[in-house]
Structure 1
Amino acid sequence: MGLGVKAAHAGSSILFDTASNWITRLQTAHQAGRLEAELKKSRRYKLIIIDEVGYIPFDQDAANLIFQLIAPRYEQGSVMVTSSLPFGRWVETFSDDVVAAAMIDRLVHHAEVLTLTGDSYRTRQRRELLAEENRAHRD
């Protein structure tokens, strides 16, 4: 999310949420007959961020809603997606290999794909805290 913060500091308009919250937002709009208005609103932002893709599998309707969020932005606006899954496993999350492939195709064309390795900042912070506690107990 550091890249999203940098983009915000540079003056970009950003809309951020987790994948599950995006689904909830889009389902609510769809049920209220406002899906197109919600999608149109999201297109006003220079960057949308979809965090935590792959933690919770989506049914086909949810996968289609996420696709409707991403597809119109193709070559029109930026999308940042975070996931702990490689693209080859996205079909597990999106329940439909066609939707998963179409989404990946739009996301990776003209994209910079970053693969991060090592501890997350949460794991690193926890390890540092435990090390500090151990040092304090020894002293």
Structure 2
Amino acid sequence: MSAPTYDIGRMGLMLNELRLPTIGRLWSDFAQRSDKEGWQASQLLGVLFEHELAERAKRRLERHRVESQLDPTKTLATFDFSVVPMVSKAHVMALATGDAWLEKGATILLFGPPGGGKSHLGSAIGHALIDAGYRVLCTRTSDLVQKLQAARKSLQLPSALAKLDRFDLIILDDLSYVRKDQAETSVLFELIAERYERKSLLITANQPFSGWHNVFPDPGMTVAAIDRLVHHSTIFELNVESYRRRNASDKQKERRRQLPTDDHNGATTIAN
């Protein structure tokens, strides 16, 4: 009894119905190759399935990258560890793999003045975690707080917090800029409390804990928030000069270096 044959059009329809677009695109070429090289059916199926799974993984990674809202330029490859000697590159690279600290809902806290590289380092860790298969959301703290406050007003706050559970890590950038408002900071506290020991947070802040009374208007809420965040935490202090100031200073020095100078004979030369 001869094996059944299928025309290309019908095969394409069936693969489309099964939602196997990569196999739909490749099966004809691989089928011809298998006929010429005498592959067994299992080899042909295995090759096609491997391509389908690889393409799905690639598309999933792309979706997670887009939904993360991470700056695509702020990665570990572009982060200059030499300007923050107080930060261990080995430690950061270990955190970038995820694993145990994400499983227990631990926190990363990045402190330092504006322009010190906190946002870049946080974004870089986020990108690495996406590469490792985790889901990440990066947002300015004030933006997320406003969204949660709007959800509370419409009686949807529990649902909004539950939707955030799909992210293994939420990066809250610039926590210090949240307005000292009881309604807004209370939803921030609820987010911290909701994720405590379940899902991880990475927080960047210009102010140390001693200045967080400017964020949470209630002293008890401040203590409770800090207590939860530091329980399972890694803290990095990036106390370095602002990158923007360093960059401006370097440019100014370069311009001065290139200005014409007079030699001893009165001739004008260009400084090296």
For 1:56 and 1:129, locate their aligned partners in 2 and report how far apart those are by CA, in whole Å.
Answer: 33
With 3-12 and 48-57 compared, the bigger mean Cα shift is at: 3-12
2:140 is matched by which residue type in structure 1? T
For 2:198 and 2:259, locate their aligned partners in 1 and report how far apart those are by CA, in whole Å.
Answer: 56
Instruction: Count residues with an aligned counterpart.
Output: 139
Q: Which residue of 2 aligns with 1:69?
A: 191
Question: 1:111: Cα distance to partner?
Answer: 0.5
Q: Which residue of 1 aligns with 2:152?
A: 30
2:230 is matched by which residue type in structure 1? V
Structure 2 residues without counterparts, runs of 5 or longer: 1-121, 261-269
Question: 1:91: Cα distance to partner?
Answer: 1.2
User: Is 1:57–1:95's contact at 8 Å kept on the other side of the alignment?
Assistant: no
Question: 1:59: Cα distance to partner?
Answer: 0.8
Taking only the aligned residue pairs, the percentage that are identical comes to 35
For 1:120 and 1:13, locate their aligned partners in 2 and report how far apart those are by CA, in whole Å.
Answer: 30
Question: 1:131: Cα distance to partner?
Answer: 3.2
Max radius of gyration: which structure? 2
Distance 1:132 1:37, change over 3 A: farther
TM-score, normalization: structure 1?
0.88
Distance 1:137 1:122, change over 3 A: same
Asked if 1:100 corresponds to 2:222, the answer is: yes
Q: Which residue of 2 aligns with 1:83?
A: 205
Question: 1:51: Cα distance to partner?
Answer: 0.8
SS at match of 2:215: helix
TM-score, normalization: structure 2?
0.47
Q: Which residue of 2 aligns with 1:15?
A: 137
Distance 1:7 1:92, change over 3 A: same
Q: Which residue of 1 aligns with 2:174?
A: 52
User: Is 2:176–2:215's contact at 8 Å kept on the other side of the alignment?
Assistant: yes
